[in-house]
Structure 1
Amino acid sequence: MSPVSLPQSLNKDLPLTALAPMQDVTNLKFMKVVADYGGPDYFFTEYFRVNETSRLNPDILAAITENDTGRPVFAQMIGESIPDLVRTAQELCTYNIAGIDLNMGCPAPRIYRKKAGGGLLKEPEKVERILAELRQAVNDRPLTVKMRLGFENTDTFYTILDIINRHSIDLLSLHGRTVLDRYHGPVNYDLIAQAVKRVNCPVLANGNIYSAPKALSVLSQTGAAGVMIGRWAIGNPWIFHQIRQALRFEPIMPVPLVEVRSYIDRLWQTPEAPNIPERARLGYLKLFLNYIALSVDAQGHFLRLMRQAQTEVEFFQICDRFLLADTTQTLALTPYSGI
C-alpha cells in the first residue's frame, strides 16, 4: 500500500514543527493558547487509552472536534490489543482527524509493563502485526508512529525501522532516547540521522529541543523533515514562531516577562474553574510552571517559591514579584536546566 499524503503545512516553505503529545497537557485549551502564540504546524492529542473495554475519551475528542486553530490534529492511540486498536482507529477516522498516531515510546512504567507504549519496542513481531492491521484499517488517512530508540538499548532499532518501511508509515516522530532513559541523559541525534536515511517517510526529531537555535542545530545534524517539541513548549509557547524566525534568518524577537505573566493567566482561566478546588487548580498550574520557571530565574528561587505556594493569592503574588518587577526583562532563549 502506498503512503498517504500528509496535511499541508501553513508554512510549506519551511521544515515541519509539531507539538508533542503530552498526557494531561495537550488538551484543547493548551492547543488554543499555543496557537495564539504562533503555534506548530501539527498538533497531536493526548493518547486515547485502548483496551477491550475502552471508549473514546470525550475530553480528548474535544481537542479534535472543537479545534478552531486551523492546524491539523493527529489522534494518538496507546495500547497493545490489535482488535481494539483497529476498532478505535476506525472510530477515530469518523472524525476530522489529520491521521492516526501509534504511541510506541511512552516511558511510564504503568504503561510499558502492560506491553503498550514503549513496551512494544521489545516485541518487533507484535509491532509488525499491529502496523499491518492498522495500515489496512486506516487506508485513506495518514498512519504515523511516535517511538524511541529502543527499550533499554537499541538492539531492535533498525528492525523496527524496517517494519515501518514495510507498512508504508507516513510520518515517524523519533525521540532520541531509550524508554528506560525516560527524559534524562543525552539525546542521540546521530541515530535520528540514521533513521532519516533508512525510512521512506518524513521524520520529526524529538528530544530536548529547548530553543530555536537548538532546533536549527538538530535539523542540520539529523536531516529530519522537522522537529517535535514537548516540555520546552510548555515553558516557551512562542518557540514555534521563534524557530520559523530563525529558519528565515530573521532576528528572534525576545518575549517580555510581562507577556509570560499573561500566558500564566491564560493557563489559569478555564470555563470549568469555579467547579474545581483551588488546591487542584494550583497543582495543575504548577505542572506548567515547573517548565516556565526554568526560563525566568536562573537561581531557582521562582521555582522553589512557586512550588511552596498554598493559595491562589500567594501564588500570583510570587508570579508578580518575578515577572512584573522589571519590565525590561525577557524570557531566556536558553532555559536554565541546573535544578
Structure 2
Amino acid sequence: MSSQVSLPQSLHPYLPLTALAPMQDVTNLWFMKVIAHYGSPDYFFTEYFRVNDTSRLNRNILAAITENDTGRPVFAQMIGESIPDLVRTAIDLCRYNIAGVDLNMGCPAPRIYRKNVGGGLLLSPEKVDRILAELRQAVNDRPLTVKMRVGFENTDNFYKILDIINRHNIDLLSLHGRTVKDMYHGAVRYDLIAEAVRRVDCPVLANGNINSAKTAIEVLSQTGAAGVMVGRWAIGNPWIFNQIRQALRFEPIAPVPLVEVRNYIDRLWQTPTAATMPERSRVGYLKMFLNYIALSVDTEGHFLRLMRQTQTEIELFNLCDRVLLDDLTKTLALAPSLSV
C-alpha cells in the first residue's frame, strides 16, 4: 500500500534527501539557524517532546517550529509510550506548521530506554503496532514518520517492526544502523539499512556515522536509501549538507578554511540566551559543540584535550585563535571514507 501523505518538497528534487538528525540539547531553533547559514539540509527534526500523562508542549522546542525562518520543513519529534498522550500530543502538534510528526524509537540513553520509551520500544513490537495504529488515525493529513535503530541489543525484532511500519503507512523511516545497546560505537549495519529499503514502502533515510560527503555517497550507493540523516558530524562540520550536494553533482568539494571554523564558533557563542547565561554555563554549552568541532580540526586530539581544560571565555577563545588562526592556509580535515 502506498504512502498516504506526500513528504514536503526537498531543496533539490532531483537529488537524494538530506536531514539533520534530532539531537537532544543540540537541535534547537538557534542551531537550526546556524546550520541553515552554512547550507540547510532538506529536513530538520526537533529535539523530542517528552510525552506522558502530565506533559505539555515544551515552549523552547516549539520555538524551533513557530519561529523557524530557515525556509526548511521541520518535523516534530515525540518520545513516550502512553498511547492516549501520544495521540493528544500529535493532535496538538498538528495545529502548528510542522512538516510531520516523528516518533522516536531509537534513543539509546539508558535513562530513556529503561522507561520503555525511545529505543526501549524496540523490545515490544506489539506495543509499537498499537502506537502506530492510533497515531496513524490521529495524524492523517500530515506525514507520520519514525526514527529507529536496527534493534535493542540484537536484531531479532527488526523485520517484524519493518512490517508494522508498512502496515500503518508510515511516510518516512530514519534508520540508524546500530542497536540501542551499541550507542554510538561499533560498525554501522548499512546492510540492514539496505534490507529495510527493500522491505518498506516508504522512503528510508540512512543514519549512523555519516561523517563526510564521500561517506554519504558510499552509503547511498550501498543502501539504495532515499537520503541520509547526519547527526554529530554536522556539529563538527556544518558545511556537510552543501558538501554532500556538491559530491552528488560530481563537483569538487569546496575546502573550508579554519578561519571559517573560527567564525562558526563565534556564531555558536552568540546564542540568543547568552545574555542571561552565566559565563561558566556558556563555556560548558560551547564545549558541547567543540567536542565535535575539535576532532574535525585536529584528528590527533591535542585541540580537544586543551579545549576541555579551559575554564573561562578568554582561555577558550585564545586557544581557538591559536589553533585556528595560526596558519591561514589550513582547511578543515575531511573525515576519512568508510570501507563499506
Give the TM bin, normalised by the shorter chain. over 0.9
Provide the rounded CA distance (Å) in 2 between the counterparts of 1:272 and 1:198.
45
What residue is the counterpart of 2:136 in the other structure? 135
What residue is the counterpart of 1:21 in the other structure? 22
Provide the rounded CA distance (Å) in 2 between the counterparts of 1:136 and 1:153.
30
Q: CA deviation at 1:335?
A: 6.3
Q: Deviations over 1:25-81 (max 9, x none)?
A: 000000001011012000000000000000000000000000010100000000000
What residue is the counterpart of 1:277 in the other structure? 278
Provide the rounded CA distance (Å) in 1 between the counterparts of 2:129 and 2:178.
22
Q: CA deviation at 1:334?
A: 1.0
Provide the rounded CA distance (Å) in 2 between the counterparts of 1:110 and 1:282.
26
- Which stretch of structure 1 is more off in the superposition, 298-307 or 38-47? 298-307
Q: How does 1:258-337 map to 2 (within 5 A)?
A: 258-334=259-335
Q: Alignment partner of 1:96: what SS? A: coil
Provide the rounded CA distance (Å) in 2 between the counterparts of 1:333 and 1:39.
19
What residue is the counterpart of 1:218 in the other structure? 219
Q: Report the TM-score, using the length of structure 2 for normalisation.
A: 0.98
Q: State whether residues 113 and 119 of structure 1, in contact with CA within 8 Å, keep that contact through their aligned partners in structure 2.
A: yes
What residue is the counterpart of 2:233 in the other structure? 232
Amino acid at match of 1:79: G
What residue is the counterpart of 2:4 in the other structure? 3
Q: Alignment partner of 1:191: what SS? A: helix
What residue is the counterpart of 2:90 in the other structure? 89
Residue 108, structure 1, aligned to residue 105, structure 2: no
Q: How does 1:34-49 map to 2 (within 5 A)?
A: 34-49=35-50
Provide the rounded CA distance (Å) in 2 between the counterparts of 1:26 and 1:11.
23
Q: How does 1:94-173 map to 2 (within 5 A)?
A: 94-173=95-174
Q: Alignment partner of 2:160: what SS? A: helix
Provide the rounded CA distance (Å) in 2 between the counterparts of 1:298 and 1:97.
38
Provide the rounded CA distance (Å) in 1 between the counterparts of 2:196 and 2:273.
43
Amino acid at match of 1:255: V
Provide the rounded CA distance (Å) in 2 between the counterparts of 1:229 and 1:331.
18
Moved over 3 A (4+): none
Q: Alignment partner of 1:21: what SS? A: coil
Residues 243 and 208 of structure 1, relative CA distance in 2, 3 Å threshold: same
Provide the rounded CA distance (Å) in 1 between the counterparts of 2:328 and 2:281.
31
Provide the rounded CA distance (Å) in 1 between the counterparts of 2:153 and 2:55.
29
Specify every segment of 5 or more residues in structure 2 that has no aligned partner in the other structure, as ranges: none
Provide the rounded CA distance (Å) in 1 between the counterparts of 2:126 and 2:97.
31
Q: CA deviation at 1:271?
A: 2.6
Q: Deviations over 1:81-131 (max 9, x none)?
A: 000000000000000000000000000111100000000000000000000
Provide the rounded CA distance (Å) in 2 between the counterparts of 1:272 and 1:20.
23
Amino acid at match of 2:20: L
Provide the rounded CA distance (Å) in 2 between the counterparts of 1:28 and 1:271.
10
Q: Report the TM-score, using the length of structure 1 for normalisation.
A: 0.98
Specify every segment of 5 or more residues in structure 1 that has no aligned partner in the other structure, as ranges: none
Q: Alignment partner of 1:147: what SS? A: strand
What residue is the counterpart of 2:74 in the other structure? 73
Amino acid at match of 1:206: N
Q: CA deviation at 1:175?
A: 0.1
The number of aligned residues is 336
Q: Deviations over 1:121-176 (max 9, x none)?
A: 00000000000000000000000000000001000000000000000000000000
Q: State whether residues 295 and 335 of structure 1, in contact with CA within 8 Å, keep that contact through their aligned partners in structure 2.
A: no
Amino acid at match of 2:50: R
Amino acid at match of 1:81: S
Amino acid at match of 2:204: V
The alignment's C-alpha RMSD in Å is 1.0
Q: State whether residues 102 and 144 of structure 1, in contact with CA within 8 Å, keep that contact through their aligned partners in structure 2.
A: yes
